[in-house]
Amino acid sequence: MTSPLLQLDSFCVAYPRQESWAVENVSLALKSGEILGLVGESGCGKSTLGRAALRLLPGGSRTQGKSLFEGRDVFGFSNQEIRRFRGEAVSLVFQDPMTRLDPLMTIGDHCVETLRAHFSDLSKQAAKEVAIATLESVSIPANRWEQYPHEFSGGMRQRVAIALALLLNPKLIVADEPTTSLDVTVSAQILDLLTGLCRERGMALILISHDLALVGEYCDRIAVMYQGKLVELGPTEQVLYHPQADYTQSLLRAAHQLQNYEATPETVANNAADPLLKVQNLVKHYTLEPGLLSKLFNRTPPATIKAVDDISVDLYPGEVLGLVGESGCGKSTFSRTLMQIIPPTSGRVEFMGQNLVGMSRAQLQTQRRNFQMIFQDPHACLNPMMTIGRGIADPLIIHGLASATEAKQQVHAMLKRVGLTPTDAYYHRYPGDLSGGQQQRVAIARALITQPKLVICDEPVSMLDASVQAQVLELMLELKTELDLTYLFITHDLWVARYLCDRIAVMNAGKIVELGPTEKLFTSPQHPYTKTLLAAAPLLAKQA
């Protein structure tokens, strides 16, 4: 019998200064070429387990039990051995690509440096050829070689991170939520690529995800974690159709609830009212400035990226308008232009009857308590040096809406509403002490604390597992009614959009190509791109 590639026996992990185990008594074996899905709620220990496989734990962490790679104890490797082990034997695709990408290095430099760090005899030209081929395999064209990470969308940065993981042809890839920021079409392309490479090269893959439908489509086996423990492990069909653990059953119920939701007439907003937000001919173009040599020897005019290209749309009071489309199509640029975080090239953005375009900073400050944003990446709005309590209270203090005592009371109430209980346990902690999903819930609480009229949600539940997604979406619907909220909901998850939204706008290449009531768009899509999106959406099928 072939020995496993990776074997964990009664494996435990505890972080520095923490007595309890973050991962407790996990035992599993992974064969070469096998694809294992690792699922569970945010904070359950999935990412910790994946990082432990590469010995990527903070200094002072405690481990117990065995972690064997090809029969050798990973925690017994020398410093030189562990350096070669990471990348050549095992590679990690992080949930947040910016943890892997240096903002001061071009994409090309990232690739060449990675290759030559492990293969010093490789010429720069040879490294470039390998890197360009790898980048193109994840749909990054060669003409983006000299660009920097900030010039890429979130999804494109993730594709670069995946390419970097593939460069050295490792025996095992640990992919930690690798498609969280990608739309369904690109997600399918990336996972087809990853799983195809595993099959071809005998490469193993641990796919960490909260998306059961996605894991069910690509993985040979599924491991389910809950509160640091492995509660279920088995072949994909067995876990999806005959789950044994109570937690697995609750995950499946929540996933089916999202996918089988049907809108009722009461969920549709009254569009007879005047629009709360009226967008007219909004444009945001970027010019790619050529380098010095190009300016000297090339007379070709600089290229223009049409991130937002003449969009007009109305959003009505009490409505939830969904905005879907592939990564890089302009969704996030559109939302930031609405907020005047970045100025538009041209067009109007009327909010509550006032044009926000051209407003002074002081005027915008006054308006901003009425429209808030929940960002895709919670790091974008959470100060790592502020406690959770202070971070959530900050908007109340800035806008003069509460005293320090009143703000503290409101923060505790909001923490409870977003499921961070007991609230005292979170109030004095810092963002770095929380999991990705917990950070996102803090970001939601911070956006809603001022009771705004309009909330622009940029992938606010993309990091949450199915059961927590359902809870947060239910919460958002409850708060919409209680606080008379209106949502612009940006997502790549079509099932989430169907569950939450009254209407959906489909965006492609900077334009809205289709807009209509949610159920009509799902049952009778008109535009070819909409049909492509729907066809690519992973569906968690019921047992026949």
CA–CA gap between residue 194 and residue 163 (Å, rounded) = 10
Q: Provide the pLDDT for residue 269.
A: 47
1 assigned to some structural domain: no
Domain that holds residue 396: 269-536
pLDDT in tens, 112-169: 999 988 888 889 899 999 999 999 888 888 888 999 988 887 678 888 888 898 888 8
- What is the pLDDT at residue 226? 92
Residue 381 has what pLDDT? 76
- The predicted pLDDT at position 482 comes to 83
Tokens of 45: 């220990």
In this prediction, residues 444-460 reach a mean pLDDT of 90
Q: How far apart are CA 228 and CA 25, in angstroms?
A: 9
**Rounded distance, CA 256 to CA 541, Å?**
9
Please indicate, yes or no, whether residues 229 and 336 belong to a single structural domain of this protein: no
Domain C-terminal end among 236, 259, 282: 259
| Residue 544 banded pLDDT, cuts 50, 70, 90 | very low
Q: What does the pLDDT read at residue 266? A: 42
Could you report the per-residue pLDDT of 375-431, keeping only the tens digit for each?
Answer: 877 776 788 899 999 999 999 998 889 999 999 999 999 999 888 889 998 999 998
Residue 326 pLDDT: 79
- Reported as a pLDDT band with limits 50, 70 and 90, residue 272 is low
Average pLDDT, integer, range 226-241: 94
Are 96 and 150 in a shared domain?
yes
Which residues, including other chains, have CB under 8 Å from residue 289's CB and lie 6 or more apart? 302
194 with 299, same domain: the answer is no
* 3-state SS class at 131: helix
Residues 308 and 410 in one domain: yes
Helix (H) or strand (E) holding 408: helix 404-417
Q: 415 or 210: which carries more pLDDT confidence?
A: 415
418 φ/ψ sector (left φ>0, alpha ψ -120 to 50, else beta)? alpha
Q: What is the arithmetic mean of pLDDT over 438-445?
A: 86
The CA dihedral of 308, 311, 313, 318, to the nearest 10 degrees, is 0
Same domain, 287 and 139: no
pLDDT score recorded for residue 97: 75
User: End of a domain among 239, 259, 279?
Assistant: 259
Are residues 479 and 450 in contact, defined by beta-carbon separation less than 8 angstroms?
no
Mean pLDDT of the chain: 86
**511 closest CA partner among 256, 325, 245:** 325
List Cβ neighbours of 50 (8 Å cut-off, separation of 6 or more): 38, 92, 174, 176, 206, 208
Instruction: Select the highest-mean-pLDDT range: 34-48, 440-454, 503-517.
Output: 503-517
Domain assignment present for residue 544? The answer is no
- Please check the confidence at residue 265 and state whether its pLDDT lies above 50: no
In this predicted model, which residue has the larger pLDDT, 295 or 100? 100
Answer with the one of 259, 285, 303 that is the final residue of a domain: 259
Look at residue 468 and tell me if it is in a domain. Answer: yes
Q: Residue 78, Cα to own-chain centre: how many angstroms?
A: 34
CATH number (domain holding residue 428): 3.40.50.300
Helical residues (DSSP H) of 106-245, grouped into ranges: 107-118, 124-137, 154-166, 184-201, 212-218, 236-241
Does some domain include residue 264? no
Q: What is the mean pLDDT of residues 513-531?
A: 94
Query: Does residue 80 sit within a domain?
Result: yes
Alpha carbons 151 and 125: distance in angstroms, whole number? 24
The total number of residues written for the chain in this structure? 544
311 and 457 in a single domain? The answer is yes
Asked, for residue 541, whether it belongs to a domain, the answer is no
Q: Are residues 160 and 231 in the same domain?
A: yes
Q: What is the three-state SS of 234-261? A: EEHHHHHHCCCCHHHHHHHHHHHHHHCC
As to burial, measured by CB atoms within 10 angstroms (0-12 exposed, 13-18 middle, 19+ buried), residue 270 is exposed
Residue 408 and residue 445 in one domain: yes
- Please indicate, yes or no, whether residues 247 and 339 belong to a single structural domain of this protein: no
* Structural domain contains residue 542: no
Higher pLDDT, 259 or 209: 209
**Tens-place pLDDT, residues 302-341:** 677 888 999 999 999 999 999 998 777 888 889 989 999 8
Based on the domain organization, do 338 and 428 belong to the same domain? yes
CA atoms within a 13 Å half-sphere pointing along the CA-CB vector of 314:
12
Q: What is the pLDDT of residue 53?
A: 78
Q: Which position has the token pair 């959003």? A: 315
Q: Is residue 121 part of a domain?
A: yes
Is the same domain home to 437 and 414?
yes
pLDDT in tens, 168-186: 889 999 998 887 666 677 7
Give the total number of structural domains in the chain.
2
Amino acid found at 28: L
Please check whether residues 300 and 382 belong to one and the same domain: yes
